Amino acid sequence: MTTKPWLAQYPPEIPHTLSYEAIPVQEYLTRAFQNYPEKVAIHFLGKDVTYRELYESSLKFASYLQNLGIQKGDRVAIMLPNCPQNAIGYYGILYAGAIVVQTNPLYTEREIAYQMKDSGAKAILSLDILYPRITKVIKETELENIIITGIKDYLPFPKNKIYPFVQKKQYGFTVKVEHRGMNHLFPEVMKVGKVEKIEVPFDFEEDVAILQYTGGTTGFPKGVMLSHKNLISNATMCDSWLYKSKKGEGTILGILPFFHVYGMTTVLILSVMLGNRMVLLPKFDVETALKTIDKQKPTLFPGAPTIYIGLLNHPDIAKYDLSSIVACLSGSAPLPVEVQEKFEQVTGGKLVEGYGLTESSPVTHANFVWANDRIKGSVGVPWPDTDAAIFQVDSTEPMPVGEIGEICVRGPQIMKGYWNRPEDTAHTMRDGWLLTGDLGYMDDKGYFYVVDRKKDMIIAGGYNIYPREIEEVLYEHPSIQECVAVGVPDAYRGETVKAYIVLKENEQITEEELNTFCREHLASFKVPRIYEFRKELPKTAVGKILRRSLVEEEKEKNKEASATS
């Protein structure tokens, strides 16, 4: 058993334990329709969709899937950016009793084929410009039906007429798909008459709602089985944490993609649970985001550090009114303290860091949004009904307070396991605990600190070096916009530290100046030995810097150098 010192830090408004309704996720949409039928559920590039329209469209989609032969437990993929069709498809698949397989629209043919084969998806809802990719790999999959939609399908007039020309100029081609055979057009699907809510047998504990694939940085991506219980639990926890949010009154900004578990829970599920309005953007563009915040006045803004950094570094940020923002939950990557403080100054809202992973639906920890004792550099404390501990790496032996080990968590939001991977599940889940693979420590008040991923730790000359510590120092330099530290092969030290740097616009700095700055703030063995300046860093769709791709890049360079020497 573990003690829970963090409970003493909870403000009185947040209960230590919660009750969770044994309902399917889609029941939130049914209730939102019943309570707020004419309220705007989605605002998308000038187009409004009410809760009535979202609910009825989702039922139509569910009915259509069933007519195609989709049965309870079948997998149906969605490969779309954030748009109304994504939400309709998501809830429609759940109404049909099927399992959602969210798929990144940026995936290559190889990645699409892998995920479709691994999940056994029978149908896919996809963007029109992605259709050629699917058709090239469809013979390798179990896909029987492709439902095609376009951004223009939910744009207001005259944008819907202009967009195809913009699309052709942007991508160099247009896609024409006929509504026959295995191909189906989303607008045609929506033409079916009004349908009644479909009743499907339901098991709160056992039924899987989604297969959410991990990023695959440590091998092939794995399908994380998240049940209705997992998602309902995490959304309920989120609601309790944001206790000042009022049902039916807020607006949530949907920049985080729904194919990322964080965007799915904090935007797609939470907004419907609360009967709030979600403002969706199909991709992150700094200027578009600033204009949207200024005009649409979101109150809640879930994001990632790179998103906040991008906004803060826009030269015209002062021209936009960002004061509607009440709270921001940052996840996916470490939030530099400097970014947190500056964003709060600019908006007047609260920006707090949280922690979680796909396997936990995703949130397990967060800082308090409105309590005064937010701890800098900490990912906060465990959420209600969530237990957390620091164990010795690859064991369940607890570490003393303040000592670094592996962060392990358990609670109702923890996954059922990995799809068709019992060995991986057994390795990751032990005695009810999820071993996160993240290194960190807990202080005496119960606040947790993430030091780094186990596999990201740099071992140089026998010293353990944590990239996050180096990056926190680099972010304090006024000329640096983004940075990442990695370990690269070194003949003498085994590994040495290399820092990749993106400078702010019109800023200049030399390696020597950076070296001097780092030596003032870091022990000598932690100071980067190599600096590389870049215009941009590789990132995931949610804005998380792809550290592992830089590591692989360095390995390839090393191989080539060895081959020519």
The predicted model gives 528-545 an average pLDDT of 90
Stretch 314-319: mean pLDDT: 95
Q: Identify whether the C-beta of residue 33 lies closer than 8 Å to the C-beta of residue 52.
A: yes
Is 290:320 a contact under the CB 8 Å cutoff? Answer: yes
Amino acid sitting at position 476:
E
Residue 305 lies in a domain: no
Where does a domain end: 150, 183, 201?
201
Pure H helices in 147-227:
159-171, 186-189
Q: Are 269 and 25 in contact (CB under 8 A)?
A: yes
- Residue 1 predicted with pLDDT over 50: no
The domain spanning residue 560 has which CATH number? 3.30.300.30
Domain of 79, CATH number, reads 3.40.50.980
Which stretches does DSSP call E strand in 74-156? 75-79, 99-102, 123-127, 145-149
Does residue 174 lie within any of the structural domains? yes
Question: What distance in Å separates the CA atoms of residue 302 and residue 315, rounded to the nearest whole number?
Answer: 22
Q: Which of the two residues, 440 and 174, has the higher pLDDT score? A: 440
Which residue is associated with the tokens 């709060």? 344
328 burial class (0-12, 13-18, 19+ CB within 10 angstroms)?
Answer: buried
Q: Which has the minimum average pLDDT: 290-294, 552-556, 558-562? A: 558-562
Q: What is the pLDDT of residue 218?
A: 43
What would the two tokens of residue 167 be?
Answer: 């699309």
Whole-number pLDDT of residue 565: 63
* Position 183 in a domain: yes
Predicted confidence at residue 221, as pLDDT, reads: 82
pLDDT at 149 over 80: yes
Exposed e or buried b per residue across 481-505, where buried means at least 16 C-beta atoms within 10 angstroms of its C-beta: bbbbbbbbbbeebebbbbbbbbbbe
Whether residue 224 lies inside any domain: the answer is no
User: Angle 213-421-119 (CA atoms, 0-180°, nearest 5)?
Assistant: 45
How many domains does the chain contain in total?
2
Cα–Cα distance list, 239 to 59, 234, 507, 512, 522 (Å): 26, 9, 42, 48, 40
pLDDT (average), residues 466-492: 88
- Nearest CA to 385 out of 356, 365, 357 is that of 365
Does 217 have pLDDT greater than 50?
no
Cross-sheet strand order for the sheet of 123-127 = 183-185, 145-149, 123-127, 75-79, 99-102, 208-213, 223-227, 417-418
pLDDT tens for each residue of 111-139: 899 999 999 999 999 999 999 999 999 99
Lowest mean pLDDT among 206-215, 390-399, 405-414: 390-399
Q: In this predicted model, what pLDDT tens digit does every residue of 222-270 receive, in sequence order?
A: 999 999 999 999 999 999 999 998 889 999 999 999 998 999 999 999 9
Choosing from 140, 173, 201, the residue where a domain stops is 201
The pLDDT value given to residue 215: 57
Q: How confident is the model at residue 71 (pLDDT cuts 50, 70, 90)?
A: very high
Number of H helices, E strands in the chain: 17, 26
Dihedral angle sign, alpha carbons of residues 492, 493, 495, 498:
negative
DSSP bridge partners of 365: 355, 382
Q: How many CA atoms lie within 13 A of 183 on its CB side?
A: 14
Predicted TM-score (pTM) of this structure:
0.85
Domain span at residue 149 reads 25-33+46-201
Question: Of 201, 230, 250, which residue constitutes the final position of a domain?
Answer: 201
**Beta-strand pair 363-366/350-356:** antiparallel
508 within some domain:
yes
- Report if residue 555 sits inside a domain: yes
Give the N- to C-terminal CA distance of the chain in Å, as an integer: 57
